[in-house]
Amino acid sequence: MNPVLVATGLDKSFGAVTAAADITLSFERATVVSLIGANGAGKTTFLNMVTGYLKPDRGSIRFEGRELTGHTPREITGLGIGRSFQIPQLFHSLSVRENLLVAEGIAHATHVEAETDAVLARFDLASYGGQPAGLLPEGVRKLLDVAMALVAKPKVLLLDEPTSGVAADEKFGIMDLVMGAVRGQGVTVLFVEHDMDIVARYAARVVAFYDGRVIADGEPARVLGAADVRRYVIGEETHAAT
Amino acid sequence: MSSILAILFDGVVYSSWLFMMAAGLTLIYGVMRILNIAHGSLYALGAYAAATIAGAWLAAGYAPVGSYAMLALAAVLVGVVVGPLVERGLLRRMYGQDEVVLLLVTYAAFLMLEDAIKLVWGVESKLLTEPYSLPGNFHIGALAYPRYNLVLITVAIVTGLALAWALYRTRQGKLLLAVIHDREISAAMGINVTRVYLVTFTLGSMLAGLGGALTAPTIAVSPGIGVEVIVLSFAVVVVGGLGSLGGAALGALLVGVVRSFAVRYWPEAELFTIYGVMALVLIARPKGLFSAPEARKI
Amino acid sequence: MRGDRTVPVLAVASAALLALAPAAPQWLVFLLALALSKGLVVLGLVLLMRTGLVSFGQGLYFGLGAYSAALLANRAGLADAGLMIVAGTACAAAVAGVLGLLLARYREIFFAMLSLAFSMILYGGLVKSSALGSTDGFNLHAKEFGGMALAAGLERRVFYAGSVVAVFVTGLIVHRYLSSHWGRLSAAIRDNELRVEYLGASVYRVVYVNYVAAGALAGMGGAFAALAVGHVDPETAYWTTSGEFVFIAILGGTGSVLAPFLSTAIFEAVRTIANQYAPNVWQMTLGIAMLAIIMFLPRGLWSLVARGRRSA
Task: Give the pLDDT confidence of B76-92 residue by residue, as tens digits.
Answer: 999 999 999 999 988 88
DSSP string, chain A: ---SEEEEEEEEEETTEEEEEEEEEEE-TT-EEEEEE-TTSSHHHHHHHHTTSS--SEEEEEETTEE-TT--HHHHHHHTEEEE-SS----TTSBHHHHHHHHHHHTT-SSHHHHHHHHHHHTT-GGGTTSBGGGS-HHHHHHHHHHHHHTT--SEEEEESTTTTS-HHHHHHHHHHHHHHHTTTT-EEEEE-S-HHHHHHH-SEEEEEETTEEEEEE-HHHHHH-HHHIIIII--PPPS--
Query: A98: nearest CA in chain C?
Result: C184
pLDDT-based confidence at residue C46 (cuts at 50, 70, 90): very high
d(CA C212, CA C48): 10
The rounded distance, in Å, linking the Cα atoms of C219 and C69 is 9
Taking CB atoms and an 8 Å limit, are C191 and A152 in contact across chains?
no
Q: B65 exposed, middle or buried (CB, 10 Å; 0-12, 13-18, 19+)?
A: exposed
Neighbouring residues of A147: CB distance < 8 A, sequence distance ≥ 6: A100, A119, A122, A123, A125, A181
Q: Which chains touch A (3 or more CB pairs under 8 A)?
A: B, C
Q: If contacts are CB pairs under 8 Å, which of residues 86-115 in chain C contact chain B?
A: 102, 105-106, 108-110, 112-114
> Do residues C194 and A89 touch, judged by C-beta distance below 8 A?
yes
Q: In chain C, which among 234-293 make CB contacts under 8 A with chain B?
A: 239-240, 243, 246, 250, 280-284, 286-288, 290-291
Chain C nearest-CA distance from A72, in A, is 9
Distance from CA of A51 to the nearest CA of B (A): 12
Write down the pLDDT at residue C150. Answer: 78
Largest Cα separation within chain A, whole Å, is 63
How far is Cα C95 from Cα C93, in angstroms, rounded to an integer? Answer: 6
Confidence of residue B293 (pLDDT cuts 50, 70, 90): low
Of residues B134 and A218, more confidence is placed in A218
Most confident of B118-132, B257-271, C85-99, C265-279: C85-99
**Residue A216: which region, alpha, beta or left (left: phi > 0; alpha: psi -120 to 50)?**
beta
Exposed, middle or buried, C145 (CB in 10 Å: 0-12/13-18/19+)? buried
User: B138 pairs with which residues across the strands?
Assistant: B145
Has residue A116 got a pLDDT over 70? Answer: yes
Q: How far is B108 from chain C (nearest CA, A)?
A: 4
Q: Can you say how many angstroms the Cα of residue C72 is from the centroid of all Cα atoms in its chain? A: 21
Does residue B295 belong to the interface with chain A, where contact is any CB pair within 8 Å?
no
Q: Given its phi and psi angles, is residue B211 left (phi above 0), alpha (psi -120 to 50 degrees) or beta?
A: alpha
Q: Which pLDDT score, from 0 to 100, does residue C161 have? A: 92
CA C21 – CA C6 distance, rounded (Å):
23
B190 contacts B211 by C-beta, under 8 angstroms: no
Closest-CA distance of chain A to residue C186, Å: 10
* List of chains touching B (3+ CB pairs within 8 A): A, C
User: In a mutagenesis test of the A interface, which of B294, B296, B298 is the best target, namely the one with the most A β-carbons within 10 Å?
Assistant: B298
Q: Tell me: pLDDT of A197 over 60.
A: yes
Q: Does A53 touch chain B if contact means CB atoms closer than 8 Å?
A: yes
B59 touches chain A (CB under 8 A): no
Q: Which of C109, C243, C295 sits opposite B107 (nearest CB)?
A: C243
User: Do C255 and C306 contact (CB within 8 A), yes or no?
Assistant: yes
Most confident among C79-88, C127-136, C275-284 (mean pLDDT): C79-88
Please check the confidence at residue B110 and state whether its pLDDT lies above 70.
Answer: yes
Mean pLDDT value across chain A:
92
Q: What are the contacts of C139-142 at 24+ separation with CB within 8 A?
A: C139/C230, C139/C231, C140/C69, C140/C70, C140/C73, C140/C74, C140/C226, C140/C227, C140/C230, C140/C231, C140/C232, C141/C73, C141/C79, C141/C230, C142/C73, C142/C79, C142/C80, C142/C81, C142/C84, C142/C227
* Residue A197: other Cβ atoms inside 10 A: 11
Supply the mean pLDDT for chain C: 90
- Cβ contact, residue pair C250, B104, below 8 Å: yes
How confident is the model at residue C312, as a pLDDT? 40
Query: What rounded mean pLDDT belongs to chain B?
Result: 88
| Comparison of pLDDT for C286 and A149, the residue scoring more | A149
User: Are B283 and C102 a contacting pair at CB < 8 A?
Assistant: yes
- Check the CA dihedral C167-C168-C169-C173 and report its sign: positive
- How many helices and strands, by DSSP H and E, does chain C display? 13, 4
C294 touches chain B (CB under 8 A): yes
Calculate what percentage of chain A has a pLDDT beyond 90.
84
pLDDT of B295 reads 63
Chain B residue numbers touching C128 (CB-CB < 8 A) = 267-268, 270
First to last CA, chain B: 56
Q: Are C65 and C220 in contact (CB under 8 A)?
A: yes
| Chain C positions in Cβ-Cβ contact with residue B109 (cut-off 8 Å) | 287
Distance in angstroms (rounded) separating the CA atoms of residues A180 and A183: 5
Q: Cβ contact (<8 Å) for A77 and C199?
A: yes
A81, A63 contact by CB (below 8 A): yes
Q: What percentage of residues in chain B have a pLDDT greater than 70? A: 97
- The per-residue pLDDT for A1 is 66
Cβ within 8 Å, pair B272-C125: yes
How far apart, in whole angstroms, are the C-alpha atoms of residue B238 and residue C258?
Answer: 36
The set of residues, in sequence order, having a beta carbon less than 8 Å from that of C144 and lying 6+ positions away, is C79, C80, C81, C82, C150
By Cβ distance, the residue of C110, C114, C291 closest to B108 is: C291
Q: Which range has the worst mean pLDDT, A178-187, A223-232, C2-11, C243-252?
A: C2-11
The predicted pLDDT at position C1 comes to 43
Per-residue model confidence as pLDDT tens digits over C243-285: 999 999 988 988 899 999 999 999 998 888 888 888 888 889 8
Q: Which residues of B touch C286 (CB under 8 A)?
A: 108, 111
C55: closest chain B residue by CA: B100
Which positions ≥6 away from B29 have C-beta within 8 Å? Answer: B35, B36, B237, B242, B243
Instruction: Please give the residue of chain B at the shortest CA–CA distance from C243.
Output: B107
Give the residue with greater pLDDT, A184 vs B44: B44
The mean per-residue pLDDT over the stretch A112-124 comes to 95
Pairwise CA distance, residues C113 & C55, whole Å: 8
Mean pLDDT of C175-182: 95
Residue B188 has pLDDT above 50, yes or no: yes
Asked if C207 and C50 count as a contact pair (C-beta separation under 8 A), the reply is: no
Is A89 an 8 Å CB contact of chain C? yes
Mean local confidence (pLDDT), B161-186 = 87
Q: Is pLDDT larger for residue B4 or for residue A153?
A: A153
User: Comparing B129 with C46, which gets the higher pLDDT?
Assistant: C46
Calculate how close chain C gets to A4, using CA atoms only, in Å.
Answer: 20
The answer to whether residue B95 scores a pLDDT higher than 50 is: yes
- Chain C residues closer than 8 Å to A112 by CB: 181
Phi, psi of B143 (to 5 degrees): -95, 140
How many residues are present in chain A?
242
The pLDDT of residue C304 is 67
Q: How far does the CA of residue A78 sit from the closest CA of chain C (Å)?
A: 6
Window C:15-44, CB contacts with B under 8 Å = none
Q: CB contacts < 8 Å between A and B, how many?
A: 10
Inform me whether the pLDDT recorded for A139 exceeds 60: yes
The arithmetic mean of pLDDT across residues C292-307, rounded, is: 77
A37: left (phi over 0), alpha (psi -120 to 50) or beta: left
| Separation in Å, CA of C105 to nearest CA in chain B | 9
pLDDT at A238: 55
Closest-CA residue of C relative to A149 is C199
Contact A89 C184 (CB under 8 A): no
Confidence of residue B264 (pLDDT cuts 50, 70, 90): confident
Higher pLDDT, C74 or C179: C179
Q: Could you tell me if A48 lies within 8 Å of chain C, comparing CB atoms? A: no
The mean-pLDDT minimum among A101-105, A111-115, C298-302 falls in C298-302
Residue C80, helix vs strand vs coil = strand
| Total residue length of chain B | 298
Q: Which residue of A has its CA nearest to C184?
A: A102
SS3 B38: coil
Cα distances (angstroms) measured from residue B169 to each of A4, A103, B187, B290: 57, 53, 21, 20
Q: Which residues of C touch B273 (CB under 8 A)?
A: none
The answer to which of A63-72, B288-297, C88-97 has the lowest mean pLDDT is B288-297
Of residues C190, C197, C199, nearest to A103 (C-beta) = C199
Per-residue model confidence (pLDDT) at position B57: 87
Window from A55-59, A206-210, B284-288 with minimum mean pLDDT: B284-288
Task: Give the residue among B119, B134, B127 at the shortest CA–CA distance from B55.
Answer: B127
Cα–Cα distance, B289 to B129 (Å, whole number): 37
Say how many C-beta atoms besides its own lie within 10 A of residue B120's C-beta.
Answer: 11
The three-state secondary structure class of B4 is: helix
Using CA atoms, how far apart are residues A217 and A209, in angstroms rounded to an integer? 9
Percent of chain A at pLDDT exceeding 70: 97
Q: How far from B23 is each of B30, B101, B105, CA to CA, in Å?
A: 10, 23, 21
Write out pLDDT tens, residues C54-67: 999 999 999 999 99
Task: Give me the phi and psi of C150, to 5 degrees please.
Answer: -100, 135
The CA distance from A107 to A82, in Å, is: 12
Return d(Cα B288, Cα B260) in angstroms, integer.
21
Residue of B nearest to A160 (CA): B298
% residues pLDDT > 90 (chain C) = 59
pLDDT surpasses 80 at A229: yes
* Residue A7 CA to its chain's centroid (Å): 16
Q: What is the mean pLDDT of residues C16-27?
A: 89
**Residue C175 and residue C14: Cα distance in Å, rounded?**
15
The DSSP letter of residue C145 is E
Cα(B26)–Cα(B243) distance, integer angstroms: 5
The whole-angstrom separation of Cα A159 and Cα C205 is: 28
Helix, strand, coil % (nearest 5) of chain B?
Answer: 75, 5, 20
pLDDT at position B160 over 90: yes
Residues A92, A69: Cα–Cα separation, whole Å = 31
CA distance A57 to chain C (A): 22
Strand partners, B140: B143
* All residues at 6 or more sequence positions from B129 whose CB lies less than 8 Å from its CB, including other chains: B217
Q: What integer pLDDT is reported at residue C305 of this predicted model?
A: 66
Q: Average pLDDT in the C187-199 region?
A: 96
**Closest chain B residue to C281 measured between Cα atoms?**
B115
User: Is the model more confident about B231 or about B165?
Assistant: B165
A41-51: pLDDT as tens digits: 999 999 999 99
Banded pLDDT at B296 (limits 50, 70, 90): low
- Between positions 202 and 241 of C, the ones with CB within 8 A of B are 239-240
Backbone angles phi, psi at C270, to 5 degrees: -65, -40
Q: How far apart are CA B199 and CA B197, in angstroms?
A: 6
Q: Which amino acid is at C68?
A: S
How many contacts does B have with C, using Cβ atoms within 8 A?
105
Interhelix angle A138-150/A168-182, rounded to 10 degrees, is: 10
Q: Which chain B residue has its CA at the smallest distance from C54's CA?
A: B100
- Short-list B91, B98, B99, B96, CA closest to B38: B91
Which of chain B's residues have a Cβ under 8 Å away from the Cβ of C250? 104
Pairs of CB atoms within 8 A across A/C? 65
Chain C closest-CA separation from residue B227 CA (Å): 9
Cβ distance of A106 and C198 shorter than 8 Å: no
SS3 C78: coil
> Count H helices, E strands: chain B?
12, 2
